[in-house]
Amino acid sequence: MRGHQFSEDSPTSSYLLLRKLWERLSPILGENRRRVGLAFLCLLAAKAGLLCIPFLLKALVDGLDTNADQLALQAVLLLVVAYGAARLSNTLFGELRDTLFGRVTEKAMHSIGLQTFRHVHSLDIDYHLNRRTGGLARDIERGTNGISFLLRFFIFNIAPTLFEIAMVAILLLINYGAEYAGVIVVSVFLYGSFSFRATRWRTQYVREVNAADSESNTRAVDSLLNYETVKYFNNETFEAERYDASLDLWEQARRKNRLSLFALNGGQALIIAASQTLMLGMAAVSVNNGTMTLGDFILVNQFMLQLFMPLGFLGFVYREIKGAMANIERLFGVLEEAPSLAPAPADKALTVTTGRICFADVGFAYAPGNPVLKQFNMTIAGGETVALVGASGAGKSTLSKLLFRFYDPTEGAVEIDGTDIRFVSLDSVRRAIAVVPQDCVLFNDSLRENIRYGRPSATDEEVAQAIEAAYLGDVIERLPDGLESIVGERGLKLSGGERQRVSIARAVLKDAPILVFDEATSSLDSHSEQAVMSAFRALAGRHTALVIAHRLSTVVDADRIVVIEHGAVVEEGAHHDLLEANGRYAELWRIQRQQQV
């Protein structure tokens, strides 16, 4: 099931997105309620200092406008000190508020980022086969940053600014009449209406910029990850042209976004300028008529400046919030991706006793109408080594994917020690199986840590034992820094045979009762193949082993060889018995021997 995307910028979709965000953030806010409470107290103190400033200026100007004696001069100086204290308290409490609440936003980003990381890893293989790594990484980064922005500015900028507007309107109504309060209310209403409508219109361009940014980043990451292929085919220019084309789309989207921002800022500036001009004109007339003092004129002017500065910032915040919500929307699209595997009880673990594996009437298709396995039956006794052979596309690797539960069968069941693996926790199933894959991809870390990845809690002594079991000692001696050598991106500083031996060392460390060896020597030379197979035979003797083989020479020692064609067993038995039967296995054997000759 694909994650739901809020494709329309409607109030309903915004409400749903905010509700989902609140569901994820409310536990974090609850855990930090004392810190949040202190931040709110600092916010109130900062706003109180800000609202006092115009009244202090009025008193100061009126005091200076009269013929003051010594006592009046002391009062004026006291007003100057009070003005400075109000300014300081506004700034100081604002900074303290941001410091206190910064810890909460950091915890929120940490929590959401970790949730997303875990969720992406929990998704089935189909999602990872279709995802685009560069774009996904950008979506996660922008989404977590969007949550931080929304959390900080929605709580500490939008709500306080609305509170400040209400307080200013009330103060002007009480002190100077309804016409002054009316100008404030009407101008704020016009400003808000215009900003909300224009910003909603602009959101489409924000989405276009994000999509183009993800596309260009994906293109760059894909090209860099596959740099060898680029160089093999001399396609550096081709890759640059494709990246240039994606950057062109990004540039066009940014241009539209910038022009729409110009229209928005111009409209907001017009409303602010008209409102301030009207308010100051009214105050100037009142001063001229003698109904207001010069201090009152300064007070009105200061209130307008204090009001429209955060209001102008509120327009910026609203624009950024809409952009943040577009980013969060994509992040939640990732979080709402649902795995296609049927859910299993997390508290019911698989118990492995002998390691017996049974494929009972298994049917499976990657795409409807194109079955890979049909009524497939095979049993592997505990401790037995069984090799699967056959032509490419016969279904050999599909069986290993069903056993490891990358997919669930469409018919029948896969059982371990008589338990259907669909009805026990996925984690317990995968803990019971160690896989040596066809292509062992390593992390760009030291060789030691790549080996230890089989069991991160393993001690250095256990790592050394795994190295010995995988015949890795000669490889380590050749490396300049030994076990501390960095193996490079995807382990490309090591040869294919060396990477496969690292994979076997990981399997040794995992020490699972079931071992799957998935065509792990198909691309190796004869010398590397012998080294890898020697390590594998020593490991397989203590496990139930399923070997998927392309080269038949690697499985002649298997307890049983199963020949698969078109998703069904056509022949099985020991190597010599199958050669004597002169069937499909004998034919494959002769073909490979002729190819070797």
pLDDT at 12: 46
pLDDT at 31: 79
pLDDT at 415: 92
Q: Which residues partner with 363 through β-bridges?
A: 411
How far apart are the C-alpha atoms of 238 and 250, rounded to whole Å? 19
Q: Which two tokens stand for residue 381?
A: 């006794």
How far apart are the C-alpha atoms of 345 and 424, rounded to whole Å? 6
Q: Which two tokens stand for residue 283?
A: 């105050």
What is the DSSP annotation of 521-571?
TTT--HHHHHHHHHHHHHHHTTSEEEEE-SSGGGSTTSSEEEEEETTEEEE
pLDDT along the chain (597 residues), means of 10: 44 67 77 82 83 82 64 72 85 84 80 81 70 69 79 71 78 82 85 80 78 81 75 77 86 84 83 85 84 82 76 67 76 75 74 90 84 88 89 83 88 91 88 84 85 87 86 84 83 80 85 83 62 69 82 83 88 89 87 72
Q: What is the DSSP letter of 246?
A: H
Q: Are 424 and 473 in contact (CB under 8 A)?
A: no
pLDDT at 118: 81
Residue whose structure tokens are 């401790």: 383
How far apart are the C-alpha atoms of 452 and 502, rounded to whole Å? 10
Domains of the chain: 11-335 (1.20.1560.10), 349-432+514-522+535-597 (3.40.50.300), 441-511 (3.40.50.300)
How far apart are the C-alpha atoms of 212 and 220, rounded to whole Å? 12
Three-state DSSP at 254 gives: helix
Q: Mind listing the pLDDT tens digit for each residue in 434-492?
A: 888 877 778 888 888 888 888 888 888 888 888 888 888 888 888 888 888 888 877 77
pLDDT at 216: 83
pLDDT at 120: 79
pLDDT at 8: 42
Q: Which residues partner with 385 through β-bridges?
A: 545
Closest CA to 547 of 419, 418, 384: 384
Pairing of strands 411-416, 419-420: antiparallel
Q: Which two tokens stand for residue 227?
A: 């740099």
Q: How far is CA 157 from the centre of its chain?
A: 27
| CA 65 vs CA 60, 62, 282: distances in Å | 9, 5, 21
pLDDT at 308: 72
Angle, vertex CA 400, rays to CA 395 and CA 403, nearest 5: 120
Closest CA to 548 of 354, 390, 382, 404: 390
Q: Which residues partner with 380 through β-bridges?
A: 357
| CA 320 vs CA 107, 145, 163, 327: distances in Å | 21, 11, 20, 10
